[in-house]
A and B are shown apart, each in its own frame.
Chain A
């Protein structure tokens, strides 16, 4: 019970962090049709900027400033690079963000070095928030959950209840009409791209000190986030939410289970030795295969439900 509750909470907080990342990606994708390969690079930038800024003015200002800086960078990239490539089609758009991810990685290593930086939690977030059956649940993870839910709420309010949100939604389906009505659609796109990057950076600010801030952090979550987006259904925000929670919980539970097919068969009374056919496969514990579970899920989803959990149409 204790294991279950704590794993569930850890899984939820990790899943919500994944959602903070994938929401920006999904927003950009559904708006502009651009798969931003450099999305987790913005996540990494957010963490590194927060590290530097929190050293100067403290963590709480950094929580605001770092996403703003990344917002500006993302918007600039859209304005001066992505928009130029837009006329060539989607593949060059993807490629240009792919090139950007290389570049950001190199620049981060150039500025902050190749080793892990000591980006720690602020005092207010250190220590446990509460303990459950004797196991403590850290404040930092609760803060991730709080922030992710707040972000979900504010993005939803922004998109459905404000003027700019309505313009964004309209530009999603009828860009020409919106443009004819006098709205600057390219600027809307620029803002959306910057906004998506800023969401990733926000995730980086709190993900960086809860987990670890290093040059490999972008690559570590990069492919998982793409899995989330495909599993949830391309361009579906609700699907991304569901899929990130699913993957977060799945992975957290799997890491903690030290059982394998072999022990399972032995419990059923089947003798399994290292001579048994396929022993290499049987003796793998669930914890060992945890890293590939998201990808297995991806493959299964693609076979049985190609449009994703909540996807609207097949692409």
Chain B
């Protein structure tokens, strides 16, 4: 009883203060750094996808609930937001200012999460995943039955410039970006705060050991349900921002299982075990779906492969890779890895280029054979009709794989040793 926790008083957590300020500044200056209109659209998409992926991670990362139906809540939030905008713009409608529309979407997400979440969260684990899949299909199929609300095949359109907020009409993309950025910052902060609340902690406990949580006297189902509702709220905000950004919502796209799958995939790629992981995932999602899909037709194949390897070798996602290296750096052992990382990147690049050449040639045969057998890949002319291109690419691939394996083994050895040293150091510090 010498120094109870609650007497300790820390007015400033400096590290946290710096990071959040940096995040706010980054959101603020991003449109000045990337000035093209494509970049601005991408930044806007990143903004609301960060909210959506973070809300998804309340389920996956914090609650251990693997949902295949998150698009239900973003999509329904988007639909309600669009109708709210149309209602606000019409004569005699309820005058909701545009800046509050995301909240309307959020409340819609909250409502549907309360409604559907009761059934969904009855089970955990694998059954939960299947139920979310079923509910997702249910809502997607239902949306085609009510063309009055969902607008059928064409979707529902709206116009975001119906009112003014001070001087802003929200016509120009940059104003929409700042609306999204403000919401992004606030929602991120709120969701981060949520991780520290008793409910957020209980959600972690339910993820890790539901049996024990029941023994203490908590109802695990209720904890999951509450977590699900909160995730639904933020998902709705994200969906509403998306509808403000595009001014159109389409049921066959925004409620589809593919969309839900995308959220899952990228939240995981970003890293579900750390709070900031999904933010990386959201950025990757936009980069992949806008830039990569422009670059190559085979992007889904690459995405699937990357995802598969990520699950197999780094189940913590990009965020865990960063944090592991930060830990190594913190203990001053990063110097020995420079060469190895260089080697890994160089040999890995060989593999990627050779494999990509093969894939692109196959895709060329399948999709563009009418254009002839020649294609240009990274400045080199390949010919799918000659054996040289195929054998050449395959040979480079084989050499690359062999080189990667050599470097990887050395890396694994050095990495393992560094980790052992760190563990030993931690133990020494604890005993000292």
Q: Chain A residues in contact with chain B, CB under 8 A?
A: 29, 33, 35, 81, 84-85, 88, 90-92, 94-96, 98-100, 102-103, 105-107, 109-111, 113, 219, 223, 226-227, 229-230, 234, 280, 284, 288-289, 291-292, 294-296, 298-299, 302-303, 306, 314-315
Min CB gap B390→A, angstroms: 15
A contacts with B: majority SS:
helix
Cβ A295 vs Cβ B137 within 8 A = yes
Count contacts on B: residues with CB < 8 A to the other chain. Answer: 43
A306 to B118, CA, bound (A): 12
Q: Chain B residues in contact with chain A, CB under 8 A?
A: 60, 64, 66, 119, 122-127, 129-131, 133-138, 141-142, 145-146, 148, 257, 261, 264-265, 268, 298, 300-301, 303-305, 307-308, 311-312, 315, 362-363, 366
Residue of B nearest to A100 (CB): B308
Cβ B363 vs Cβ A234 within 8 A = no
The answer, among A94, A98, A284, A299, for a CB contact under 8 Å with B261, is A98
Please name all residues of chain B whose beta carbon is closer than 8 Å to the beta carbon of A306 when the two chains form the complex: 122-123
A119 to B127, CA, bound (A): 35
Please name all residues of chain A whose beta carbon is closer than 8 Å to the beta carbon of B264 when the two chains form the complex: 95, 98
Number of A-B contacts (CB under 8 A): 121
Please name all residues of chain B whose beta carbon is closer than 8 Å to the beta carbon of A234 when the two chains form the complex: 126-127
Residue of B nearest to A103 (CB): B304
A100 to B304, CA, bound (A): 7
The answer, among A33, A99, A295, for a CB contact under 8 Å with B141, is A295
Cβ B66 vs Cβ A91 within 8 A = yes
Pairs A-B, 4 closest by C-beta atoms: A295-B138, A102-B304, A103-B304, A99-B308
Given contacts A35-B130, A96-B308, A315-B123, contact A106 B298 (CB under 8 A): yes
Cβ A102 vs Cβ B307 within 8 A = yes
Q: Which of A111, A288, A299 has the most CB of B within 10 A?
A: A299
Given contacts A84-B312, A103-B305, A291-B141, contact A230 B64 (CB under 8 A): no
Please name all residues of chain B whose beta carbon is closer than 8 Å to the beta carbon of A107 when the two chains form the complex: 301
A5 to B410, CA, bound (A): 69
Please name all residues of chain A whose beta carbon is closer than 8 Å to the beta carbon of B261 when the two chains form the complex: 98, 102
A298 to B69, CA, bound (A): 15
A94 to B68, CA, bound (A): 11
Please name all residues of chain B whose beta carbon is closer than 8 Å to the beta carbon of A302 when the two chains form the complex: 119, 122-123, 131
Q: Which of B64, B122, B315 has the most CB of A within 10 A?
A: B315
Cβ B141 vs Cβ A110 within 8 A = no
17 other A-B residue contacts (CB within 8 Å) besides A98-B264, A107-B301, A292-B138: A90-B125, A91-B60, A91-B66, A94-B126, A94-B129, A95-B264, A99-B308, A102-B304, A103-B304, A106-B300, A230-B131, A234-B126, A234-B127, A280-B146, A298-B134, A299-B135, A306-B123
